[in-house]
Amino acid sequence: MRNQGVDNTLALSISRRGARILVALFAGFLFVAPVDAQDGEVIVELDRERIYEGESVRYRVFLSRFDQPAEPELVGFDAFVVQQAGTQQVNSSSIRIINGRRQQVTRRGIIYEYLLTPQKTGQIPIPAPIVKVDGEPVPSKSVTLTVVPAEEQDIAVLDMTSSHTVVYPMQPFDITLKIFIKPIPEPESDHDPLSVQNPLVQLTLPWAEDEALVAGIVPKIPGERWLDAMRNRSGGFSINGRESSRSPFGSFGGFFSDLAEGFRPTPKRVRRADASGRRLEYWEYTLTRTFVANKVGEYSFGPATVKGSFGVRVDTRGQLEGEAAYAFAKPVIVRVKDVPTEGRPESYTGAIGRFEIGADVSPQTAKVGDPVTLTLWLRGQGTLENVLAPKLDGIANFDKHFKIYEATEETRDDSREFTYSLRPKSVDASEIPSIPISYFDVDRESFVTLQTDPIPISVTAADRMASGEIAMATPQSPESASIEARAEGIFANVTDLRELRDETVHPDRWFLSLGALTGLFFIVAMVAQRVQRFQSDTSLQRRRTAAADARRRLRAATSLAEEGDTRRGAEAISEALIGLVADATNTPYGVLTSTDAARRLRELKIADETVRRVQEVMQTCDDARYGAAGEAMKELPNLAEAVLEDLIRAMKKQRLLS
């Protein structure tokens, strides 16, 4: 963000050296309009003035010191795909020095942020936003964005396609990105290019995250679950700036170093020509997501970009050398059109795809007025979620012979079931008639009507009770507690229900039960709140598992040292101790150095003797990394284990670990 404490007046009064510093502070941002005006103003900002073809730029419009500003209108932005990226309220103060005097300036307003994706290359003017206050336009200025075309190269090549260019609502379609990466030169050509280098290759893929999808597009698999399937412990892609996670043992950078965990689909080898015409076995990485559209319209997916350093040659010392490459794939367009109304049968209820149907009745023998369950199912490939239950009362003679109750609907994998409750009206109901259901076949682009087979049922007359089957009783007084009975049943003329059971109310039992239920409710609520708090508090989870994680890392590090890998073993031992400090303080991995870790321990009031021993172990580790540890390395694993346990005990005493 820009420096709010400096303006043009200051720029005239400071030294040339100060002016150069001022220019450096403004590098990377473009502001059009002064910030010290007393009236409301419009400030335009780009996060970058120069981008590659296929990349996007953040465009911010700051409406400063307006009481009730209207949202800006972006007119004439035809050269860009425009996406809203949110708003932000600003209310802050800063100190300025003007002509040697300190002044406090309040910055108040609202920032509207947009994501602009250019549709062409070159110098592209961005028109001034239209901002009106009380119906009157407020002056603003345009800016210019430079879009650099991607250079021709054969190191990384992208190809993005769609399984369908035209689909119907709720019809699945696949968006696929294939990334071809040139093989590493001999003798390392069998190594996966993404497994030998740091940092990770940057992949920008708008449709990889659910939050970036436009309204009307729904993924079949949630984005997090889709990404989880590609997590890899040894390199890969950073997708939209996200890494799977960072290795707890750090990273040295460069080729064949310890790698951050990225996202890497399983690759395969394919032969294709490079720039010189040679046919090489490129590495192909394929990313595919399945979507459905629930609204008619035209949808754009992309563009996709790849940026990174790739191993392309081996120097005279046998070391792999890298070369930066940038590649992009243009967006693909998918058009969603509605199911035609012409020729649409009355039995069409929303199914799109290819299906078969069936029906079952239970029981098939009933009496007039008895409930009968009819289950109708639709099964196949296609869209079923929005399919409605067929209207049975529109079928000939169905409502004449049966009383029909509203159906329940349920989707199970590749089928959808409709369950109706029916009651036969007369003994003339001899079968469940054939039921038609229509669906739209997307391959034929036509409607198909299917019919269930008629199902025979047997309906008999309802039972009637003869007068002799009704038990009678002699009159009794209401106070009598005895009940006369016959083999035929309870007397029919008992009118006072108190004669049948004791209905005395016991309020003490009710209050006792109510109190028990209330106590149980509070116990369950407290347990649920505690579980929810633990699951949502990542820092608490890290502290709870910190000790076990540190011991696990130390065991892995000790194994490396015992196998003779002194450098990596020492590095891992140091990282086990630093990782424990990071977990206890909720600090990201890879941020703390050994000096930082020791400083944090002192800030946490850990005993000086414990901190000193931790520093000694980490210093020995540093010496071992550069071959200066000597005999000390032999005792390092046992010493590190003892120091780690002392540190865990000290942290638990300070309640830093759960």
CATH number listed for the domain at residues 538-653: 1.20.120
CA-based radius of gyration for the chain? 37
Computed over every residue of the chain, the mean pLDDT equals: 80
Q: CB neighbours of 428 closer than 8 A, spacing ≥ 6? A: 401, 459
Sheet holding 304-314, edge to edge: 231-232, 262-263, 237-239, 201-204, 304-314, 320-329
With contact defined as beta carbons under 8 Å apart, do 119 and 80 qualify? Answer: yes
Backbone angles phi, psi at 573, to 5 degrees: -65, -45
Report the distance separating Cα 340 and Cα 130, nearest Å.
Answer: 41
With contact defined as beta carbons under 8 Å apart, do 568 and 251 qualify? Answer: no
Q: CB neighbours of 567 closer than 8 A, spacing ≥ 6? A: 624, 625
Report the distance separating Cα 191 and Cα 543, nearest Å.
Answer: 38
Omega before residue 363 within 30° of 0, cis: yes
Label the pairing between strands 41-46 and 30-32: antiparallel
Q: CB neighbours of 540 closer than 8 A, spacing ≥ 6? A: 533, 534, 658
The token pair that represents 71 in the structure block: 């949202």
With contact defined as beta carbons under 8 Å apart, do 103 and 74 qualify? Answer: no
Q: Which of 278, 243, 279, 282 is nearest to 263 (CA)?
A: 243
Cβ count near 647 (within 10 Å): 26
Q: State which amino acid sits at residue 599.
A: R
With contact defined as beta carbons under 8 Å apart, do 577 and 614 qualify? Answer: yes
With contact defined as beta carbons under 8 Å apart, do 328 and 56 qualify? Answer: no
Omega before residue 303 within 30° of 0, cis: yes
| Vertex 484 angle, CA 478 and 485, to 5° | 140
Compute, in degrees rounded to 10, the torsion defined by CA atoms 611, 613, 618, 619. Answer: 110
The pLDDT value given to residue 25? 40
Report the distance separating Cα 577 and Cα 618, nearest Å.
Answer: 8
Class of domain 156-336: mainly beta
Compute, in degrees rounded to 10, the torsion defined by CA atoms 136, 138, 141, 145. Answer: -80
Q: Map out the domains of the chain as residue ranges.
A: 8-148, 156-336, 350-460, 470-495, 538-653
Residues of the chain with pLDDT under 50: 1-38, 246-257, 470, 472-474, 478, 480-481, 483-492
With contact defined as beta carbons under 8 Å apart, do 407 and 398 qualify? Answer: no
Q: CB neighbours of 586 closer than 8 A, spacing ≥ 6? A: 538, 539, 542, 543
CATH number listed for the domain at residues 8-148: 2.60.40.10
SS3 annotation, 493-558: CCCCHHHCCCCCCCHHHHHHHHHHHHHHHHHHHHHHHHHHHHHHCHHHHHHHHHHHHHHHHHHHHH
Class of domain 350-460: mainly beta
Report the distance separating Cα 428 and Cα 89, nearest Å.
Answer: 73
Label the pairing between strands 348-362 and 436-441: parallel
With contact defined as beta carbons under 8 Å apart, do 116 and 51 qualify? Answer: no
Report the distance separating Cα 509 and Cα 382, nearest Å.
Answer: 57
The pLDDT value given to residue 314? 80
The pLDDT value given to residue 316? 76
The pLDDT value given to residue 228? 92
Q: What end-to-end distance do the CA atoms of the chain give, in Å?
A: 39
The pLDDT value given to residue 15? 39
The token pair that represents 357 in the structure block: 């149907």
Report the distance separating Cα 519 and Cα 4, nearest Å.
Answer: 57
Residue showing tokens 């296609």 = 382
Q: Which of 606, 605, 618 is nearest to 646 (CA)?
A: 606
- CB-count burial class (<10 Å; 0-12, 13-18, 19+) for 334: buried
381 bridge partner residues? 354
Report the distance separating Cα 255 and Cα 632, nearest Å.
Answer: 30
The pLDDT value given to residue 523? 84
The token pair that represents 605 in the structure block: 């009031």
The pLDDT value given to residue 319? 80
Composition of the chain by helix, strand, coil, percent to 5: 25, 35, 40
Cβ count near 640 (within 10 Å): 27
Report the Cα 53 to chain-centroid distance in Å: 27
Cβ count near 534 (within 10 Å): 12
The token pair that represents 359 in the structure block: 């029906």
